[in-house]
Amino acid sequence: MSKSLTVLTPAETVACCSPLSREPLSRPQAEQVAPLLKALADPVRLRLMSLVASHEGGEACVCDLNDAFDLSQPTISHHLKVLHQAGLLDRSKRGVWVYYRARTEALTDLGALIGNPSA
């Protein structure tokens, strides 16, 4: 898969928008932000994100994550891929194990876009 230098993940484009209540979002802006929210808009992915983000070092092993759900391993893998492709999780393989790390700046930017009444 191509990972060209100039390609930004959805999460990396969010910091540029002022909050929802500040001024109307343009159509292109909305189309950039929506996929990020879509990635979070699932109970399983929300818990995954929260598990990773709140884990020691902001990092968690897939092996731990699988056990926290009653879902099949491919399903968890799918959800992690969605979060990763949205730019909300970083992936790093160490030996046999794969670790996912939360992109806290992405979460911060997104939270500010949605909820920040000032700024």
Partner DNA sequence: CATCAATATTGACAGACGTCGATGCGTCGT
Partner DNA sequence: ACGACGCATCGACGTCTGTCAATATTGATG
Where does this chain bind DNA (CB under 7 A)?
Answer: 38, 41-42, 44-45, 61-63, 66, 70-82, 91, 93, 95-98
Minimum CB distance to a copy of itself smaller for 57 or for 74: 57
How many angstroms separate the CA atoms of 71 and 113, rounded? 32
Closest to 87 in 3D by CA, of 49, 43, 114, 47: 49
Q: Is the dihedral of CA 59, 63, 67, 70 positive or negative?
A: positive
Segment contacting a copy of itself by CB under 8 A, of 2-10, 21-29, 77-85, 91-99: 21-29
With contact defined as beta carbons under 8 Å apart, do 35 and 86 qualify? Answer: yes
Site residues for a copy of itself per CB under 8 A? 20-27, 30-31, 33-34, 37-38, 40-44, 46-47, 49-51, 53-54, 58, 68, 102, 104, 107-117
